[in-house]
Structure 1
Amino acid sequence: MTRVLHAEWTKLRTVGGPVGLLIGAIVLTVALGWLAASAAGCPPGGCVIDAAKTSLTGVLLGQAVVAVLAVVVVAGEYGDGTIRATLTAVPRRGAVLAAKAVTLTGPVLLAGLVAVAGSLAVGRAVLPGRGFALDLTDAATLRAGAGSVLYLALVALLALGVATVVRNAAGGIGIVLGMLYLFPVLTEVVTDPRWERRLRQIAPSTAGQAVQTTLGVDTLPIGPWQGLGVLALWAAGALLAGWLVLRLRDA
């Protein structure tokens, strides 16, 4: 397994695309967080905002870049045919998928940590000027930050599983982005409160992003860590489907 991990890590770090996408995810996440914090405001009567969640708004954009990276890791090999060489060298196809998951998750966690830390630092610097405070030592804020890093890693694993099933970059990206952004739109157009609540509880993105909430947690359709668990189940299901397809279908 060590050799498989080394081979996958060598492929990931020697190709320019993944590195650029990770840097892009960091920059876009922090930039959108800065814009959200800079735009925070209240009507004359005053209001309360979730400072941590506002600062982490950029995760909504960073997740798309992470998803594209994960899809490219698999679909790129199918596109140029190098997957045949990979599976010939490593007949245990489950080991190949596991190695890809491990070597992808590590850099995404690191990039996510930098992006989230940068977003919270920007929020801490900008929000007081808008009349709001962000306490970086608060337990709920720390949970929102740590949960956001894990959220990005789980999105990457979800996309990796989907890409292993469809084996096509355009198709994989379309499916994953649809899963991440279509469900939130559906929750806004559904008129039945019960169905809206259920959608927020089972959708990978809306459930997973509950971990960012620090105010009004008791009113959420699903708890912060439970919501992240829902996303983890989606990622596990996608990886299981990918493993089955990888085993049963020819390269």
Structure 2
Amino acid sequence: MRYALRAEWTKACTSPGLPALLVTMVVSMVALSAAVAAATDPLPGTDLPKLGLTGVLLGQALVAVFGVLVMGDEYATGLVTVTLTAVPRRSCVLAAKAVVVAGVLAAAATIAVAGCLLAARLALPADAVAARPAVGSVLYLVLIGLLSLGIVTCVRSSAAGVGSVLALLYVLPVVTAAVADPAWQRHLRQIGPASAGLAVQATGADLDIGPWTGLGVLALWAAGALLAGAALLERRDV
């Protein structure tokens, strides 16, 4: 496992575009949060911590692309054959990738969220900064990266992987909002990976799902995608 981790870390650091993608994620998240905070005159009752973390809505897309490319690039270039020849235990390869993705994204997301909090502190009232939404946002981004890794391992295509994850993050909430029955709409928000996971940012009392319970729903999505990816990786010919 140690050698697999070292190999995956080396690939993540040297793969074209991946480090730049993380830098772009950090900058874009902070820039969006700063712009929204500066342009908003919050009304009474506005969820200020969630408003200050608006950049997460954009950052999650770049995180999804990062998680997909960690495995998708190997299928696109044929490097996956070399990887699985060097490390025959395929589940070990996926586990090493998951550890690297989680570690790298945790570091990048921490920097990005800290930048968003600084922007919110400068432009919004003091209570715009709260610990639970901030920590939860970091965990949310890490779980989105792991979900993306699991999905691309299942579909074996970067384009299909990115499309699938972005559909879950952006299209599913739109479809949910179009449902006429309020009860069904609430249930769909409770099980959707984005709508449930982002509940960790909310500080209001009227929530469809508890903050940490919602993040747990996203964790189940990520775990399910990784387990499905591991099973398919073991069974299929690369």
Q: TM-score, normalised by structure 1?
A: 0.92
Find 1:94's aligned residue among 84, 91, 96: 91
Letter in 1 for 2:15: V
- Once the two structures are TM-superposed, the CA of residue 47 in structure 1 deviates from its matched residue by 2.4
2:79 counterpart of 1:79: no
Q: Which runs of 5+ in 1 are unaligned?
A: none
2:210 counterpart of 1:210: no
Find 2:158's aligned residue among 164, 169, 177: 169
Native 8 Å contact 2:153 2:229 kept in 1: yes
Whole-angstrom CA distance in 1 between matches of 2:37 and 2:91: 43
Native 8 Å contact 1:63 1:152 kept in 2: yes
Native 8 Å contact 2:147 2:222 kept in 1: yes
2:113 counterpart of 1:133: no
Letter in 1 for 2:222: A
Letter in 2 for 1:220: L
Whole-angstrom CA distance in 1 between matches of 2:128 and 2:149: 35
Deviations 1:70-100 (A, max 9, x none): 1011010001101001001111000000000
Whole-angstrom CA distance in 1 between matches of 2:70 and 2:236: 19
Letter in 1 for 2:194: S
2:193 counterpart of 1:200: no
Residue matched to 1:232 = 219
Letter in 1 for 2:82: A
Native 8 Å contact 1:123 1:134 kept in 2: no
- How many residues are matched? 238
Whole-angstrom CA distance in 2 between matches of 1:246 and 1:93: 7
Residue matched to 2:229 = 242
Whole-angstrom CA distance in 2 between matches of 1:59 and 1:145: 10
Find 1:221's aligned residue among 182, 201, 208: 208
- Once the two structures are TM-superposed, the CA of residue 204 in structure 1 deviates from its matched residue by 0.1
* Runs of 4+ off more than 3 Å: none
Q: Which runs of 5+ in 2 are unaligned?
A: none
Question: Percent of pairs identical after alignment?
Answer: 53
2:59 counterpart of 1:70: no
- Once the two structures are TM-superposed, the CA of residue 135 in structure 1 deviates from its matched residue by 5.3
Whole-angstrom CA distance in 2 between matches of 1:72 and 1:105: 14
Whole-angstrom CA distance in 1 between matches of 2:209 and 2:32: 26
Native 8 Å contact 1:51 1:133 kept in 2: no
Find 2:175's aligned residue among 163, 175, 186: 186
2:116 counterpart of 1:119: yes
- 1:22-33 aligned at under 5 Å gives the runs 22-33=22-33
- Once the two structures are TM-superposed, the CA of residue 134 in structure 1 deviates from its matched residue by 2.7
Letter in 2 for 1:195: W
- Once the two structures are TM-superposed, the CA of residue 2 in structure 1 deviates from its matched residue by 0.4
Other structure's SS at 2:106 match: helix
Whole-angstrom CA distance in 2 between matches of 1:192 and 1:25: 36
Whole-angstrom CA distance in 1 between matches of 2:15 and 2:226: 23
Q: Superposition RMSD on alpha carbons, in Å? A: 1.1
* Residues 135 and 192 (structure 1), Cα distance of their counterparts in 2 relative to 1, 3 Å cut: closer
Whole-angstrom CA distance in 2 between matches of 1:116 and 1:25: 11
